[in-house]
Amino acid sequence: MSEAVRTTTASRARLAAVAVALGSCLVLAVPAGNAGAAAADPVPTVFFGDSYTANFGISPVNHQDNERGWCFQSTDNYPAVTARSLAAKGITLAVQADVSCGGALVHHFWQQQELPFGAGNLPAQQEALQQDTQLVVGSLGGNTLGFARIIKQCSDKLREPSLLPGEPVDPDKPASECKDFFETGDGKEWLDYKYEQVEGELEEALQRMEYFSPDARRVLVSYPRLVPADITKCLAAAPGQSELPFADISQEALPVLDQAQQRLNDIMMKAATDNGADFVNLYAHTGSNTACDGTDRGIGGLLENSKLELLGSPIPWYAHPNEKGRDLQAEHVATTIETALNQ
């Protein structure tokens, strides 16, 4: 049995023990009839997630007066845009909290998150859930998979010191050999283990959502597609840019990134389906808005300057959604929420 499976099994056992101890109290505390609340009523909602929910790179940033500023959560992230678009249709999301934070791993849903530069620790995201929460929406998984580490394994430029977290999977292996590294031997074994870890931890997070907010619809949002099917589009810089969308990552390595993302997408979809949650398949809907789609790109290039600065220097997008990509996220999330609430 792998370490990831053992960890998840132990966590579920602990959660089950808590459920036995508190079950009778929680049953008494749940108001009758909440599950059938009409969509026209305000819907108590919690958003969770990582930098793709926080929409890292889009200015301005929330909570600049406290440690949550280091989450780089945009004041106009896709949760905010989604809430506005639904309000225009008469669906009001009563947002109880948006705890999305850059750098969040799946286990930060139930464990505190350490912020960079010793800025402090944030409570587990599940603490935002309430008994009357009716909707829980967000994305987690990419950081637990270690997508930034995969990118750094394939790029010399991205191995240089930056705000992009993590180290290459194996810094002794040259970036030019990353395709072979991830398809054979230790690299493939590492990647297989990380997928197993993501799957087990996502299942636990979804179960915890159901436990703490038993009447809530849960919506797991996947990640928008980064690399197009036609990788030759990645051989030209976007208009107004000098760097290629994926910097110095070789053309033969780009399908490795896409395959890694597609496998993550499949695991997220399976976790949602197996646990009775709704799933927003952004990967399937954003193939024409990748980082390599020029003026239609919904993803900022790895080294393309975002709208944020730190100490007077611009911060790159590091392959996060730009405003167009943010609006695509909001569009598909809003559609899924509307459908779910009207069922």
Spatial contact of 213 and 136, defined as CB atoms under 8 Å apart: yes
Q: How far apart are CA 299 and CA 233, in angstroms?
A: 14
Q: Flag whether 259 is in a domain.
A: yes
Q: Flag whether 264 is in a domain.
A: yes
Q: Flag whether 290 is in a domain.
A: yes
Cα distance between the two ends of the chain: 40
Q: Flag whether 175 is in a domain.
A: no
Phi, psi (5° rounding) for residue 128?
-80, -20
Domain assignment of residue 270, given as a range? 40-142+202-341
Chain center to CA of 38: 29
Q: What pLDDT shows up at residue 163?
A: 83
How many structural domains does the chain have?
A: 1
**For the chain (length 343 residues), average pLDDT per consecutive 10?**
41 41 34 44 97 98 94 98 97 98 98 93 98 98 98 96 91 96 96 98 98 98 98 97 97 97 98 98 98 98 95 94 98 97 90
Other residues' Cβ atoms within 10 Å of the Cβ of residue 141? 28
* Residues taking part in catalysis: 51, 103, 143, 320
Q: What is the pTM of this model?
A: 0.88
Q: What pLDDT shows up at residue 225?
A: 98
Q: Flag whether 321 is in a domain.
A: yes
Q: Flag whether 278 is in a domain.
A: yes
The DSSP string of 51-105 is HHHHTTTSSSBS-TTSGGGGG--BTT-HHHHHHHHHHTTT--EEEEEE---TT--
- Provide the Cα torsion 20, 22, 24, 28; round to 10°: -150
Q: What is the CATH number of the domain that holds 80?
A: 3.40.50.1110
Q: Flag whether 67 is in a domain.
A: yes
Other residues' Cβ atoms within 10 Å of the Cβ of residue 186? 12
Give the residues across from 310 on adjacent strands: 313
The DSSP string of 114-165 is EPGGG--EE--GGGG--TT--EEEEE--HHHHTHHHHHHHT-SGGGSSSSS-
Q: What pLDDT shows up at residue 337?
A: 98
- Which residue in 299, 283, 155 sits closest to 222, CA to CA? 283
Q: How far apart are CA 78 and CA 51, in angstroms?
A: 11
Q: Please count the helices (runs of H) and the strands (runs of E) in the chain.
A: 10, 9
Q: What pLDDT shows up at residue 311?
A: 85
Q: Flag whether 61 is in a domain.
A: yes
